[in-house]
Amino acid sequence: MASYFRTTKSNAKIVALLKLLLLSYFASCFAGNLNQDFDITWGDGRAKILNNGNILTLSLDKASGSGVQSKNEYLFGKIDLQLKLVRGNSAGTVTAYYEKVTLDREQQFYLWFDPTSDFHTYSILWNPQTIIFYVDGTPIRVFKNLESQGVPFPKNQPMRVYSSLWNADDWATRGGLVKTDWTQAPFTASLRNFRANACVWKSIKSSCNSGPNNSSTKPWLGQELDSASEARLKWVQQNYMVYNYCADTKRFVQGLPLECTVNNTTT
């Protein structure tokens, strides 16, 4: 399942669009040097790792965008990545941070700050009980483990972390009505401070299978939202959510997905 942090900006108004698809797969160790954390996978030189591995930049022009993927695969953990999005009139561009398996369970949000003026932290917590998406420590989405009620939950498949910058003016801006202004190119987004406090998957086994797995060594394994975080989540979803697949009856004409009809805070 993929988890996307997708953002766009249209003229003076920030339209920071987070496409968060359900089922994620994480795990790893603390990371400090992006040369050690990521491989550049496409873009013909448009993606660059700079400043002794401290900054990763993705660039987009009319010919191509660019992308990277993590060197490690992950299963269960807490992943953090700081992003600064494309400045100026970047309508039509999409900066994505995700795990690559798509089930089309999308929610979209306006952000409550300008994501192009500075770095902000985008995080995903994944443990056997829940998946929680955060922006600067504020939860914006939760997907609970409801396997007992027939809802699939990711717990076996490891995944890599991906990030890319690409042109999506056929759909990202009011259904493609606003096209990318290529006179503003190249467009550049920046990434830094990738941290994976989690379990590395290598040779068909998890690094968490060796050593103690308890609240002191891996606090994220049992982490869930407390009452204050639940209230913050409700505030975000009431004030900044602009699309929720669980409310899209036109899209799901045969009926909403099962998780939308049971007790789950994704709805």
pLDDT for the residue numbered 119: 97
Binning pLDDT at 50, 70 and 90, where does residue 52 land? very high
Tell me the pLDDT tens digit for each residue of 76-110. Answer: 899 999 999 998 888 878 888 777 665 578 888 88
Instruction: Lowest mean pLDDT of 93-97, 113-117, 123-127, name the range.
Output: 93-97
> Would the pLDDT of 12 be above 70?
no
Q: What is the mean pLDDT of residues 124-130?
A: 91
CA distances from 56 to 82, 83, 161, 186, 189 (A): 10, 10, 14, 15, 9
Bigger pLDDT: 236 vs 31: 236
* Number of helical (H) and strand (E) elements in the chain, helices listed first: 2, 16
Other C-beta atoms closer than 10 Å to the C-beta of 152 total 15
Q: What is the mean pLDDT of residues 202-210?
A: 81
Binning pLDDT at 50, 70 and 90, where does residue 114 land? very high
pLDDT for the residue numbered 108: 84
Q: pLDDT above 70 covers what percent of the chain?
A: 81
pLDDT for the residue numbered 215: 65
pLDDT for the residue numbered 191: 97
pTM of the model: 0.83
Q: CA-to-CA distance for 108 and 15, rounded, in angstroms?
A: 10
Q: CA-to-CA distance for 169 and 185, rounded, in angstroms?
A: 14
pLDDT for the residue numbered 102: 52
Q: What is the mean pLDDT of residues 219-233?
A: 94
> Would the pLDDT of 197 be above 50?
yes
> Would the pLDDT of 190 be above 90?
yes
Q: What is the largest CA-CA distance in the chain?
A: 55
pLDDT for the residue numbered 30: 43
> Would the pLDDT of 3 be above 70?
no
Question: In which region does residue 255 sit, left (phi positive, over 0), alpha (psi from -120 to 50) or beta (all else)?
Answer: left
